[in-house]
Structure 1
Amino acid sequence: MVVFVRGTVPAREFALHHTLQTVPDAEFEIERIVSSSERSVMPLSWVRGGEHEATATALEEDPSVEDATLLADFDDEWFYRMEWVDRVELILRMVTSANATILDAYGGNERWMLRVMYPDRDSLSAMDEFCTDHGLTFDIESVRQLDGEPAGRFGLTGEQYEALTTAAQRGFFQVPRETTLQELAEELGVSHQALSERIRRGMDALVDDTLLIKPPP
């Protein structure tokens, strides 16, 4: 059974620690991570915050980075391809031996937030044992098991999933709206207030699970 995990790693135990210390305002949002060898990984990363020149210099001096190539410059954010060669034991274990998929990784405020998909709970347990044996920290904040229902993929309850999908299909989110909340409530057989709460809480859960993979300020 597929398991989704959200957890944090101290920046001192992860790649780019030097850069995050040197440029405290810098934020890294990883787009994709692949293993490039048995000792390194190659992520694509969005970089935001701080002065670009200072960040570029810090990346050049960062012992965890073998190469950082700027792929795109959008003035206030930059897209890099990097090769991480130090402090990558945890991430290498995840993408190789644990058969995990790193869905999101965000670095800032002296820690990294990761959202990881494991093929089963045994893989998650093996990862936890690996961290303990090697003195690594992966503080798990939430675990969600995919039970086969579509709602489980997005951190929603079944009722929230039904409310949001029905609302979308009936044009509730269109401008202008093609249906009203009261009409949706009558179709679903719930009160106006109950449906309103389901939609709000569902939207909050959906955004939190898919967009807000960041450590709090």
Structure 2
Amino acid sequence: MAAIIEFRLPTEEFALEETLDTHPEAQIEIERVVADDPDKITPYIWARADDFDTFEAALEDDPTVESMTLLSETEEERSYQMTWTGAIDFIVHILTEHEGTITHADGSVDGWELRVLFPDHESLSEAHNAAHEAGFWFDVTTIYGTGDTRGIQHGLTDTQRNALVAAFEAGYFTVPREVTLQELAEQQDSSHQALSEQLRRATGNLVESTLITQSDMTEE
């Protein structure tokens, strides 16, 4: 059975420490990660910041950012493809040597919260032991198997879960709808486009974590 570990770690142990220090209001959400190189990873992220011009300037100067490409943008969020290197080397080791997959990660000035999926408990245990032997610090919040529904958030970030729950409670998913997306956005103090994309990503994560099997992914 596959195993999942959720843990927290400081920015200096992972990525974007300098960017988040200079932009403490910024919020980072990793959508997915590609780890094909032993020295770097390619995350696809969503970012929120008060001033994207200065935020992107900080990213360009951040020693953990080798390159970045803007993929899309709204008034409140921007999506990037990046290449990270440097401080992320041990996370890359976990991904490449122990077959871990980052299924969720949120970053802020307070640190990173990650969820990593391993093919089995043995791989998770080996990665955990290797981290301690290397002096790598992180705060484990929970460890569970994929068959254990306790604590599983179905691949959703807290923001995505809150958006889905608010939409459900407001009657957005009823037929006919009891509230429009614009009305729901105003209730959530968000923009129409930002909430639409949040609900779309949340729905995609929910489908992937509850309906898509490993064989489905292999067939793709």
TM-score (norm 2): 0.67
Q: Is 1:10 aligned with 2:4?
A: no
8 A Cα contact 2:68 2:81, kept in partner: yes
Residue in structure 2 matched with residue 88 of structure 1 by the alignment? 88
Shift of 1:17: 0.7
Residue in structure 2 matched with residue 166 of structure 1 by the alignment? none
Query: Match of 2:98, SS?
Result: coil
Residue in structure 1 matched with residue 24 of structure 2 by the alignment? 24
Shift of 1:74: 0.9
Shift of 1:55: 0.6
Query: Match of 1:63, SS?
Result: coil
C-alpha distance in 2, partners of 1:154/1:133? 28
- Provide, for residues 143-179 of structure 1, a one-character-per-residue CA deviation record: whole Å limited to 9, x for no partner: 11133x7x579469xxxxxxxxxxxxxxxx7447xxx
C-alpha distance in 1, partners of 2:52/2:61? 14
Shift of 1:103: 0.4
Residue in structure 1 matched with residue 70 of structure 2 by the alignment? 70
Paired residues for 1:47-126 under 5 Å: 47-126=47-126
Shift of 1:116: 1.1
Query: Match of 1:75, SS?
Result: coil
Residue in structure 1 matched with residue 134 of structure 2 by the alignment? 134
C-alpha distance in 1, partners of 2:92/2:139? 17
- Provide, for residues 27-67 of structure 1, a one-character-per-residue CA deviation record: whole Å limited to 9, x for no partner: 11001111142201110010102210111010010011010
* Residue identity matched to 1:3: A
* Contiguous gaps of at least 5 residues in structure 1: 157-172, 177-208, 211-217
* Residue identity matched to 2:130: F
8 A Cα contact 2:21 2:109, kept in partner: no
Rg (Cα) greater in structure: 1
Shift of 1:99: 0.6
* Residue identity matched to 1:16: L
Query: Match of 1:80, SS?
Result: strand
Root-mean-square deviation (CA), in Å? 2.7
Runs of 4+ in 1 over 6 A off after TM superposition: none
Shift of 1:68: 1.3
8 A Cα contact 2:101 2:116, kept in partner: yes
Query: Match of 1:131, SS?
Result: helix
8 A Cα contact 2:17 2:109, kept in partner: no
- Provide, for residues 64-99 of structure 1, a one-character-per-residue CA deviation record: whole Å limited to 9, x for no partner: 101011111212110011000111123202221111
8 A Cα contact 1:9 1:137, kept in partner: yes
* Residue identity matched to 2:2: V
C-alpha distance in 1, partners of 2:143/2:133? 21
- Provide, for residues 106-133 of structure 1, a one-character-per-residue CA deviation record: whole Å limited to 9, x for no partner: 1013210001111111111111112112
Paired residues for 1:27-46 under 5 Å: 27-46=27-46
C-alpha distance in 1, partners of 2:113/2:28? 10
Question: What count of residue pairs does the alignment treat as equivalent?
Answer: 163
User: Structure 1 vs Structure 2: percent identity of aligned residues?
Assistant: 34
TM-score (norm 1): 0.68
* Residue identity matched to 1:66: E
